[in-house]
Structure 1
Amino acid sequence: MATIDLTPLYRSTIGFDRMASILDAAMRADTSNGYPPYNIEVLEENRYQISLAVAGFEESELELEVERGVLTVRGRKAEDEGKRFLHKGIAFRSFERKFNLADHVQVEGAALKNGLLVVELLKVIPEQMKPRRIPIGGNTLRTIDGDSNQTKAA
């Protein structure tokens, strides 16, 4: 497995601590077997949709969980006990799919329709993260001097 030196990236970025772990996870071999197939669609600038093909699964057999920026979709299918098949080409097996979510991406909801599990995602950027102008000027710099905050003229 190749390693990537991210040192140049960290020289000009601040606060992207989680990026290294996300890149590391993406670089590891994907252990999934491609089941179930899925699409990730951009609906609008900050709206996304994941569609998983889960034909044959009931809502009660599907589970969605978000923890530490990772969306996990699980499907638990009971075995076909007592059934005799001449041919079995439809995969009704259990699965687990994980999706790394960017910061501030929230799961808005999910629905099962026509064999597709559709998960709606929304990126909500907090007000303090939105671009803003910083005024340059006068007596607004504050420094800590001893135990008290004092304003110093620039």
Structure 2
Amino acid sequence: MNRSVLFDSPFLLGFEHTRSLIERAAKAAAESYPPYNVEDRGDGGIRITLAVAGFSPDQLEVTVEDRQLTVVGRRNDNAARPEDAYLHRGIAARGFIRSFVLADGMVVEEASLAHGLLHIDLARPEPEKRVLRVPIRTGA
């Protein structure tokens, strides 16, 4: 894997995790199927919509692991019947894996499938404000 010159500076120590996030985001950006939209829903909410025409809910999987949202679509190769004779086949029938890197605190609220579109709603809840009282020791 190519190492970023930016993070190889001796003045940036301990940023391996940030480099890993940037590499994961670059890899995810190189994917082109299926097409998707990202909408700002206000109040920290985001909706990702993927065009997954022809996929049923049992052929789709949405997971979050280590701040990476992954959507997998698996097609059954036996879905096409032998008697089907296409004159034109423009609807993609291949499986896919699409990944998105999530910021700290982002949570997936729900995923829904309607009219060939998979909607994934994300939120960033307000972090609870915590005050830590630090005891003061005396020199005695």
Mark yes or no: TM-score above 0.5: yes
Structure 2: stretches of 5+ with no match in the other structure: none
State how far apart, in whole Å, the 1-side matches of 2:26 and 2:128 are: 33
Sort the Cα spacing of 1:66 and 1:18 in 2 relative to 1 into closer, same or farther, 3 A: same
Aligned alpha-carbon RMSD (Å): 3.0
Q: Which residue of 1 aligns with 2:121?
A: 120
The number of residues matched between the two structures is 134
Q: Which residue of 1 aligns with 2:88?
A: 87
* Higher RCO (CA < 8 A, seq sep 6+): 2
The amino acid of 1:152's aligned partner reads: T
- 1:152 offset after TM fit, Å? 2.7
Residues 141 and 152 in structure 1, CA contact (< 8 A), matched pair in contact too: no
Q: Which residue of 2 aligns with 1:98?
A: 99
Sort the Cα spacing of 1:126 and 1:95 in 2 relative to 1 into closer, same or farther, 3 A: same
Sort the Cα spacing of 1:102 and 1:60 in 2 relative to 1 into closer, same or farther, 3 A: same
State how far apart, in whole Å, the 1-side matches of 2:129 and 2:29 are: 36
- 1:31 offset after TM fit, Å? 5.1
The amino acid of 1:90's aligned partner reads: I
- 1:98 offset after TM fit, Å? 0.7
C-alpha offsets along residues 12-69 of structure 1, whole Å, 9 cap, x if unaligned?
Answer: xxx866322111223458553x111001111113111100001111111111111111
Structure with larger Rg: 1
Kindly report which structure 2 residues correspond to 1:124-135, keeping only aligned pairs within 5 A, or say none.
124-128=125-129
Sort the Cα spacing of 1:128 and 1:21 in 2 relative to 1 into closer, same or farther, 3 A: farther
Q: Per the alignment, in what secondary structure is the counterpart of residue 22 of structure 1? A: helix
Output the TM-score relative to the length of structure 1: 0.72
Kindly report which structure 2 residues correspond to 1:27-66, keeping only aligned pairs within 5 A, or say none.
27-28=26-27, 32=31, 34-66=32-64
Identity level (%): 38
State how far apart, in whole Å, the 1-side matches of 2:95 and 2:21 are: 26
The amino acid of 2:92's aligned partner reads: A
Q: Which residue of 1 aligns with 2:66?
A: 68
- 1:107 offset after TM fit, Å? 0.4
Sort the Cα spacing of 1:98 and 1:41 in 2 relative to 1 into closer, same or farther, 3 A: same
Residues 108 and 120 in structure 2, CA contact (< 8 A), matched pair in contact too: yes
State how far apart, in whole Å, the 2-side matches of 1:141 and 1:57 are: 58
- 1:78 offset after TM fit, Å? 1.6
Sort the Cα spacing of 1:76 and 1:41 in 2 relative to 1 into closer, same or farther, 3 A: same
The amino acid of 1:23's aligned partner reads: I
